[in-house]
C-alpha cells in the first residue's frame, strides 16, 4: 500500500508500529527528505490491486495487514490523509494492535482524522472480536446409533401436525453439523427431489446424511412412499458420494429406523487409487 514520501509517525508513536504497517510499504518510511504533500492521494486513486477493500475481496481478510484492516473499518480518511494513513497513525500512536483495541473513544479521537463515528466503528469491531474469542467451543452431538438421532429430533417433531422431512448432516466423526428442514407436507403428495437434499449436504460439506421425518398419526411404521423415497435418495447419495446413513421415522414417543428394519441403503463406492506407471 502506498504511503506519501516523507511520511513520519505522529508524535508519541512507537517503533513497534512497523510491525503493523503493510508489508509492501515499510520501505517508504525511510524516505524522510522531501516535504509532505498538502493533500495525500486518496485510496480510490490507487491501482485496484493496492486498495484494501479490493485486496480483501480478492484474497480475503487474511491477506491484509493490520493497518489495511483498520483502514477498511475507517472507510475514509481526512482532508489531507488517506484512510490507510490515518489507520497507520492510529497503530503507531498506540504502539500495538492490542493497545489500540483497548483504547477509549477519547484516546482514539486524539488521532487526526478519527471522529466520534469512526471511533465507535473501531470499538464495535474490537468488541465483536473479544466476544467471539470468549465464545466457548461448540460441542456437536454425535450420532452413534439410531436412538441418538431420534433423541435429537423427538422433542421437535413428536407433536407436529404436519409431516416434515429433516436432514441431519454429519461430518466424518458422525457429529451433527446441522439439521435442516427440506420439506413440509405429505411425502406421498409432494415427494422430495434429491437435489433439495444434496444441495444442503454439499453446502455444509457433509460426509453423510440421516433422513428424519414424522408421522402426525403417532404411528412410526413406514409407508410405501417412505420406503420408495428412501431408496431413491439412497441411490442418489451413492452417485453423489454422500451416503444416506439411515431414515428415522418419528411417532408419538416412538421411532423406527429403516436401517434397523433391514432396509437396503446403497453404499458409496470406494474409488480405486490410481497408480502411475
Same domain, yes or no: 88 and 194: no
Q: What is the pLDDT of residues 146-174, one digit of tens each?
A: 999 999 999 999 999 899 999 999 999 99
Same domain, yes or no: 125 and 58: yes
13-17, 104-108, 120-124, 197-201 — which is least confidently predicted? Answer: 13-17
Residue 115 counted as domain residue: yes
Nearest to 234 by CA among 192, 271, 276: 192
Same domain, yes or no: 85 and 176: no
pLDDT of residue 176: 96
Residue 187 counted as domain residue: yes
Q: In terms of residue numbers, what domain contains 216? A: 146-257
Residue 78 counted as domain residue: yes
Residue 73 counted as domain residue: yes
Same domain, yes or no: 162 and 122: no
Structure confidence at residue 53 as a pLDDT band (50, 70, 90): confident
pLDDT of residue 268: 81
Instruction: Please say whether the beta carbons of 172 and 128 come within 8 A.
Output: no
pLDDT of residue 56: 87
Residue 183 counted as domain residue: yes
Q: What is the pLDDT of residues 249-271, one digit of tens each?
A: 999 999 999 999 999 899 887 64
**CA of 258: how far to CAs of 52, 96, 173, in Å?**
54, 59, 21
Query: What is the pLDDT of the chain when averaged over all its residues?
Result: 83
Residue 179: how many CB atoms within 10 A of its CB?
16
DSSP H/E element including 211? strand 208-214
pLDDT of residue 270: 63
pLDDT of residue 240: 92
State the average pLDDT over residues 66-90: 92
1-5, 97-101, 124-128, 195-199 — which is least confidently predicted? Answer: 1-5
| Cα–Cα–Cα angle for 245, 249, 254, rounded to 5 degrees | 125
State the average pLDDT over residues 230-245: 94
Number of domains in the chain: 2
pLDDT of residue 26: 47
**Helix, strand, coil fractions of the chain, as percent rounded to 5:** 40, 15, 45
Residue 210: how many CB atoms within 10 A of its CB?
28
pLDDT of residue 257: 97
Structure confidence at residue 35 as a pLDDT band (50, 70, 90): low
Last residue in a domain, options 106, 134, 162: 134
Residue 276 counted as domain residue: no
Query: What is the rounded distance in angstroms from the CA atom of residue 52 to the CA atom of residue 66?
Result: 11
| HEC letters along 143-179 | CCCHHHHHHHHHHHHCCCCCCEEEEEEECCCCEEEEE
CATH number of the domain enclosing 193: 3.40.140.10
- Residue 210, C-alpha cell as written in the block: 440421516
Q: What is the pLDDT of residues 93-112, one digit of tens each?
A: 999 989 999 999 999 999 99
Structure confidence at residue 218 as a pLDDT band (50, 70, 90): very high
Q: Is residue 7's pLDDT more than 90? A: no
Residue 265 counted as domain residue: no
pLDDT of residue 187: 63
- Residue 116, C-alpha cell as written in the block: 466520534
Residue 5: how many CB atoms within 10 A of its CB?
14
Same domain, yes or no: 185 and 205: yes
Instruction: Give the global pTM.
Output: 0.58
Amino acid at each position: 500500500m502506498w504511503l506519501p514520501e516523507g511520511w513520519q509517525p505522529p508524535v508519541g508513536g512507537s517503533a513497534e508500529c512497523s510491525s503493523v504497517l503493510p508489508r509492501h510499504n515499510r520501505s517508504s518510511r525511510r524516505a524522510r527528505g522531501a516535504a509532505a504533500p498538502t493533500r495525500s492521494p486518496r485510496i480510490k486513486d490507487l491501482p485496484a490491486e493496492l486498495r484494501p477493500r479490493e485486496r480483501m475481496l480478492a484474497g480475503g481478510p487474511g491477506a491484509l495487514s493490520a493497518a489495511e484492516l483498520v483502514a477498511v473499518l475507517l472507510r475514509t480518511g481526512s482532508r489531507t490523509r488517506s484512510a490507510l494513513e490515518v489507520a497507520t497513525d492510529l497503530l503507531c500512536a498506540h504502539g500495538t494492535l492490542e493497545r489500540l483495541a483497548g483504547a477509549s473513544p477519547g484516546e482514539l479521537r486524539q488521532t487526526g482524522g478519527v471522529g466520534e463515528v469512526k471511533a465507535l466503528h473501531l470499538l464495535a469491531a474490537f468488541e465483536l472480536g473479544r466476544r467471539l474469542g470468549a465464545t466457548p467451543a461448540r460441542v456437536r452431538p454425535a450420532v452413534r446409533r439410531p436412538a441418538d438421532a431420534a433423541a435429537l429430533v423427538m422433542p421437535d417433531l413428536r407433536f407436529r401436525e404436519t409431516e416434515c422431512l429433516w436432514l441431519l448432516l454429519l461430518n466424518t466423526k458422525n457429529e451433527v453439523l446441522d439439521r435442516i428442514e427440506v420439506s413440509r407436507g405429505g411425502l406421498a403428495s409432494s415427494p422430495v427431489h434429491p437435489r433439495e437434499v444434496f444441495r444442503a449436504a454439499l453446502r455444509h460439506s457433509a460426509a453423510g446424511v440421516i433422513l428424519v421425518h414424522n408421522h402426525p398419526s403417532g404411528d412410526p411404521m413406514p409407508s410405501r412412499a417412505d420406503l420408495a423415497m428412501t431408496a431413491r435418495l439412497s441411490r442418489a447419495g451413492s452417485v453423489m458420494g454422500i451416503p444416506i446413513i439411515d431414515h428415522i421415522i418419528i411417532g408419538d414417543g416412538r421411532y423406527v429406523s429403516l436401517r434397523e428394519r433391514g432396509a437396503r441403503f446403497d453404499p458409496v463406492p470406494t474409488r480405486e487409487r490410481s497408480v502411475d506407471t
